[in-house]
Amino acid sequence: MSQQRHGSTPGNTGAVPAFPDLPEATIARLPEYLRALHNLAESGSETVSSEGLAAAAGVNSAKLRKDLSHLGSYGTRGVGYDVALLVDQIEYILGLDQRRAVALVGVGNLGHALAGYDGFASRGFRIVALFDSDAEQVGKPLGDLTVRHIDELGMAVVEEGITIGVIATPAGAAQAVADDLVAAGVTSILNFAPCVLSVPAGVDVRKVDLAIELQILSFHEHRKASLTAIPGGRSAQPGNQEAVGS
Protein backbone atom coordinates (compact mmCIF):
# COMPACT_ATOMS: atom_id res chain seq x y z
CA MET A 1 0.00 0.00 0.00
CA SER A 2 1.50 3.31 -1.04
CA GLN A 3 1.73 5.78 1.80
CA GLN A 4 2.62 9.46 1.80
CA ARG A 5 4.48 11.34 4.45
CA HIS A 6 2.60 13.82 6.63
CA GLY A 7 4.21 16.25 9.09
CA SER A 8 7.87 16.58 9.96
CA THR A 9 10.43 13.90 10.58
CA PRO A 10 11.96 13.39 14.02
CA GLY A 11 14.83 15.73 14.80
CA ASN A 12 17.20 13.03 16.05
CA THR A 13 20.22 11.87 14.08
CA GLY A 14 19.27 8.84 12.01
CA ALA A 15 15.68 10.02 11.61
CA VAL A 16 13.65 8.54 8.79
CA PRO A 17 14.48 10.69 5.74
CA ALA A 18 11.17 10.13 3.99
CA PHE A 19 7.99 8.23 4.73
CA PRO A 20 8.80 4.67 3.63
CA ASP A 21 6.51 2.42 1.64
CA LEU A 22 6.28 -0.46 4.12
CA PRO A 23 5.02 -4.02 3.57
CA GLU A 24 1.81 -4.74 5.50
CA ALA A 25 3.53 -7.53 7.45
CA THR A 26 6.20 -5.08 8.62
CA ILE A 27 3.56 -2.55 9.70
CA ALA A 28 1.84 -5.27 11.74
CA ARG A 29 5.08 -6.08 13.57
CA LEU A 30 6.16 -2.52 14.39
CA PRO A 31 3.80 -2.22 17.39
CA GLU A 32 5.33 -5.43 18.81
CA TYR A 33 8.81 -3.94 18.49
CA LEU A 34 7.62 -0.72 20.09
CA ARG A 35 6.11 -2.52 23.07
CA ALA A 36 9.33 -4.48 23.59
CA LEU A 37 11.40 -1.28 23.32
CA HIS A 38 9.26 0.51 25.89
CA ASN A 39 9.75 -2.41 28.28
CA LEU A 40 13.51 -2.27 27.69
CA ALA A 41 13.58 1.49 28.28
CA GLU A 42 11.62 1.10 31.51
CA SER A 43 14.16 -1.47 32.71
CA GLY A 44 17.00 0.97 32.07
CA SER A 45 18.40 -0.48 28.83
CA GLU A 46 19.93 2.08 26.47
CA THR A 47 20.87 -0.32 23.66
CA VAL A 48 19.65 -3.72 22.52
CA SER A 49 20.96 -6.29 20.08
CA SER A 50 18.83 -7.49 17.19
CA GLU A 51 18.70 -10.92 18.82
CA GLY A 52 17.56 -9.44 22.14
CA LEU A 53 14.88 -7.25 20.58
CA ALA A 54 13.69 -10.08 18.33
CA ALA A 55 13.32 -12.41 21.33
CA ALA A 56 11.43 -9.76 23.28
CA ALA A 57 9.08 -9.17 20.33
CA GLY A 58 8.63 -12.86 19.49
CA VAL A 59 10.12 -12.82 15.97
CA ASN A 60 13.36 -14.07 14.45
CA SER A 61 16.27 -11.66 14.29
CA ALA A 62 16.65 -11.77 10.50
CA LYS A 63 13.04 -10.68 10.04
CA LEU A 64 13.50 -7.91 12.60
CA ARG A 65 16.65 -6.58 10.90
CA LYS A 66 14.88 -6.53 7.55
CA ASP A 67 11.86 -4.72 9.03
CA LEU A 68 14.01 -2.08 10.71
CA SER A 69 16.10 -1.57 7.59
CA HIS A 70 12.93 -0.17 5.97
CA LEU A 71 13.11 2.61 8.57
CA GLY A 72 16.77 3.32 7.91
CA SER A 73 17.77 1.66 11.19
CA TYR A 74 20.65 -0.78 10.84
CA GLY A 75 22.09 -0.67 14.34
CA THR A 76 25.78 -0.51 15.23
CA ARG A 77 27.96 -3.59 14.99
CA GLY A 78 28.91 -4.80 18.44
CA VAL A 79 26.50 -2.37 20.09
CA GLY A 80 23.06 -2.96 18.61
CA TYR A 81 20.23 -0.47 18.40
CA ASP A 82 19.82 2.72 20.39
CA VAL A 83 16.56 2.09 22.28
CA ALA A 84 15.43 5.72 22.58
CA LEU A 85 16.19 6.52 18.93
CA LEU A 86 14.39 3.43 17.69
CA VAL A 87 11.37 4.28 19.83
CA ASP A 88 11.26 7.73 18.22
CA GLN A 89 11.57 6.29 14.71
CA ILE A 90 8.82 3.70 15.17
CA GLU A 91 6.48 6.12 16.93
CA TYR A 92 6.93 8.57 14.06
CA ILE A 93 6.15 5.92 11.45
CA LEU A 94 3.07 4.78 13.39
CA GLY A 95 1.92 8.38 13.76
CA LEU A 96 2.24 8.24 17.54
CA ASP A 97 4.14 11.51 17.76
CA GLN A 98 0.66 13.01 18.10
CA ARG A 99 -2.21 11.79 20.26
CA ARG A 100 -5.09 10.33 18.25
CA ALA A 101 -8.69 11.15 19.16
CA VAL A 102 -10.93 8.07 19.08
CA ALA A 103 -14.72 7.65 19.12
CA LEU A 104 -16.22 4.48 20.58
CA VAL A 105 -19.66 3.42 19.36
CA GLY A 106 -21.53 0.81 21.40
CA VAL A 107 -21.27 0.81 25.19
CA GLY A 108 -22.48 -2.67 26.03
CA ASN A 109 -20.25 -5.07 27.95
CA LEU A 110 -17.42 -4.92 25.42
CA GLY A 111 -17.74 -1.16 24.99
CA HIS A 112 -17.56 -0.64 28.75
CA ALA A 113 -14.39 -2.70 28.92
CA LEU A 114 -12.77 -0.81 26.03
CA ALA A 115 -13.74 2.57 27.44
CA GLY A 116 -12.15 1.68 30.76
CA TYR A 117 -8.90 0.30 29.34
CA ASP A 118 -5.98 2.42 30.53
CA GLY A 119 -3.57 1.03 27.94
CA PHE A 120 -4.88 3.23 25.12
CA ALA A 121 -3.63 6.45 26.69
CA SER A 122 -0.11 5.09 27.17
CA ARG A 123 -0.01 4.15 23.47
CA GLY A 124 -0.98 7.59 22.19
CA PHE A 125 -4.77 7.26 21.89
CA ARG A 126 -7.56 9.17 23.65
CA ILE A 127 -11.14 7.96 23.66
CA VAL A 128 -12.82 11.35 23.55
CA ALA A 129 -16.45 10.41 22.86
CA LEU A 130 -18.79 7.49 23.56
CA PHE A 131 -21.96 6.81 21.56
CA ASP A 132 -24.95 4.51 21.65
CA SER A 133 -28.46 4.44 20.24
CA ASP A 134 -30.00 2.84 23.35
CA ALA A 135 -31.94 5.45 25.32
CA GLU A 136 -31.06 3.63 28.54
CA GLN A 137 -27.33 4.13 27.86
CA VAL A 138 -27.42 7.69 26.54
CA GLY A 139 -26.64 10.22 29.24
CA LYS A 140 -24.90 7.76 31.55
CA PRO A 141 -21.44 8.68 32.82
CA LEU A 142 -18.64 6.27 31.94
CA GLY A 143 -15.28 7.26 33.36
CA ASP A 144 -14.68 10.90 32.52
CA LEU A 145 -17.15 10.86 29.64
CA THR A 146 -20.91 10.81 29.20
CA VAL A 147 -22.51 8.51 26.64
CA ARG A 148 -23.93 10.52 23.76
CA HIS A 149 -26.60 9.59 21.23
CA ILE A 150 -25.27 8.35 17.90
CA ASP A 151 -27.05 11.30 16.22
CA GLU A 152 -24.38 13.58 17.76
CA LEU A 153 -21.54 11.71 16.07
CA GLY A 154 -20.99 14.15 13.21
CA MET A 155 -20.79 17.16 15.52
CA ALA A 156 -18.39 15.36 17.88
CA VAL A 157 -16.04 14.32 15.08
CA VAL A 158 -15.60 17.97 14.11
CA GLU A 159 -15.35 19.27 17.67
CA GLU A 160 -12.84 16.65 18.86
CA GLY A 161 -10.87 16.12 15.65
CA ILE A 162 -11.74 12.41 15.61
CA THR A 163 -10.21 10.32 12.81
CA ILE A 164 -10.51 6.82 14.31
CA GLY A 165 -13.74 5.06 15.24
CA VAL A 166 -14.17 1.86 17.24
CA ILE A 167 -17.29 -0.22 16.62
CA ALA A 168 -18.39 -2.40 19.55
CA THR A 169 -22.01 -2.92 18.53
CA PRO A 170 -23.89 -6.11 17.61
CA ALA A 171 -23.23 -7.26 14.05
CA GLY A 172 -26.63 -6.12 12.82
CA ALA A 173 -25.91 -2.50 13.68
CA ALA A 174 -22.25 -2.35 12.62
CA GLN A 175 -22.67 -1.42 8.94
CA ALA A 176 -24.99 1.48 9.74
CA VAL A 177 -22.51 2.70 12.36
CA ALA A 178 -19.66 2.41 9.86
CA ASP A 179 -21.69 4.45 7.37
CA ASP A 180 -22.28 7.12 10.02
CA LEU A 181 -18.58 7.22 10.92
CA VAL A 182 -17.54 7.59 7.29
CA ALA A 183 -20.18 10.25 6.64
CA ALA A 184 -18.86 12.17 9.64
CA GLY A 185 -15.32 12.14 8.24
CA VAL A 186 -13.74 9.24 10.12
CA THR A 187 -11.18 7.50 7.91
CA SER A 188 -10.02 4.60 10.11
CA ILE A 189 -12.24 2.02 11.83
CA LEU A 190 -11.50 -0.73 14.34
CA ASN A 191 -14.37 -3.21 14.12
CA PHE A 192 -15.14 -5.62 16.97
CA ALA A 193 -18.48 -6.67 15.47
CA PRO A 194 -18.48 -10.16 13.89
CA CYS A 195 -19.18 -9.01 10.34
CA VAL A 196 -17.52 -7.65 7.23
CA LEU A 197 -17.93 -3.93 6.66
CA SER A 198 -18.27 -2.21 3.30
CA VAL A 199 -16.45 1.13 3.22
CA PRO A 200 -15.32 3.45 0.43
CA ALA A 201 -11.76 3.74 -0.83
CA GLY A 202 -9.58 5.74 1.50
CA VAL A 203 -11.14 4.28 4.66
CA ASP A 204 -9.07 1.67 6.50
CA VAL A 205 -10.73 -1.06 8.55
CA ARG A 206 -9.13 -3.45 11.03
CA LYS A 207 -11.24 -6.33 12.32
CA VAL A 208 -10.94 -8.00 15.72
CA ASP A 209 -13.01 -11.19 16.08
CA LEU A 210 -12.19 -13.13 19.23
CA ALA A 211 -14.43 -16.05 18.22
CA ILE A 212 -12.39 -16.52 15.03
CA GLU A 213 -9.16 -16.57 17.04
CA LEU A 214 -10.61 -19.23 19.34
CA GLN A 215 -11.70 -21.28 16.33
CA ILE A 216 -8.16 -21.15 14.94
CA LEU A 217 -6.80 -22.35 18.28
CA SER A 218 -9.44 -25.10 18.26
CA PHE A 219 -8.10 -26.26 14.90
CA HIS A 220 -4.58 -26.53 16.32
CA GLU A 221 -5.87 -28.47 19.33
CA HIS A 222 -7.72 -30.79 16.96
CA ARG A 223 -4.60 -31.23 14.84
CA LYS A 224 -2.43 -32.05 17.86
CA ALA A 225 -4.98 -34.57 19.11
CA SER A 226 -5.16 -36.19 15.66
CA LEU A 227 -1.38 -36.47 15.42
CA THR A 228 -1.12 -38.24 18.77
CA ALA A 229 -3.87 -40.66 17.72
CA ILE A 230 -1.95 -41.79 14.61
CA PRO A 231 0.44 -44.73 15.20
CA GLY A 232 3.95 -43.28 15.02
CA GLY A 233 2.54 -39.76 15.04
CA ARG A 234 4.27 -36.88 16.68
CA SER A 235 4.04 -36.88 20.45
CA ALA A 236 2.49 -33.73 21.86
CA GLN A 237 5.46 -32.86 24.03
CA PRO A 238 6.07 -29.22 24.99
CA GLY A 239 9.31 -29.15 22.98
CA ASN A 240 7.41 -30.07 19.80
CA GLN A 241 4.82 -27.31 20.01
CA GLU A 242 5.02 -24.19 17.89
CA ALA A 243 3.67 -20.76 18.60
CA VAL A 244 0.51 -19.95 16.68
CA GLY A 245 0.00 -16.47 15.33
CA SER A 246 0.06 -14.19 12.35
Spell out a b/e string for 88-115, using b for 16 or more CB atoms within 10 Å of the CB, else e: bbbbbbeebeeebbbbbbbbeebbbebb
Q: Report d(CA 61, CA 52) in Å as an integer.
A: 8
Q: How many CA atoms lie within 13 A of 91 on its CB side?
A: 22
Return the closest-CA partner of residue 190 out of 135, 133, 245, 125. 125
Q: Report d(CA 34, CA 48) in Å as an integer.
A: 13
Angle between helices 171-184 and 153-160 (to 10 degrees): 50
Binding residue ranges for NAD(+): 106-111
Contact, 64 vs 50, CB < 8 A? Answer: yes
Contact, 129 vs 160, CB < 8 A? Answer: yes
Please tell me the class of the 24-96 domain: mainly alpha
Does residue 3 have a pLDDT over 90? no
Question: How high is the pLDDT of residue 11?
Answer: 45
Query: What DSSP string runs through 52-94?
Result: HHHHHHTS-HHHHHHHHHTTT---BTTTBEEHHHHHHHHHHHT
Domain boundaries, the chain: 24-96, 99-210
Return the closest-CA partner of residue 30 out of 80, 69, 79, 2. 69
pLDDT above 70 coverage of the chain, percent: 85
Contact, 186 vs 165, CB < 8 A? Answer: yes
Contact, 156 vs 129, CB < 8 A? Answer: yes
Range name among 56-70, 107-121, 224-238 with the lowest pLDDT average: 224-238
Better pLDDT: 242 or 121 = 121
Give tens-digit pLDDT for 187-201.
999 999 999 999 999
Binding residue ranges: 106-111
Question: How high is the pLDDT of residue 244?
Answer: 53
Helix (H) or strand (E) holding 179: helix 171-184
Same fold? 24-96, 99-210: no
Mean pLDDT value of segment 86-103: 92
172 to 39, 161, 175: CA distances (angstroms): 40, 27, 7
Report the topology of domain 99-210. Answer: Rossmann fold (3.40.50)
Contact, 147 vs 130, CB < 8 A? Answer: yes
> How is residue 157 annotated by DSSP?
H
Question: How high is the pLDDT of residue 75?
Answer: 81
Give tens-digit pLDDT for 144-157.
999 999 999 999 99
Better pLDDT: 119 or 189 = 189
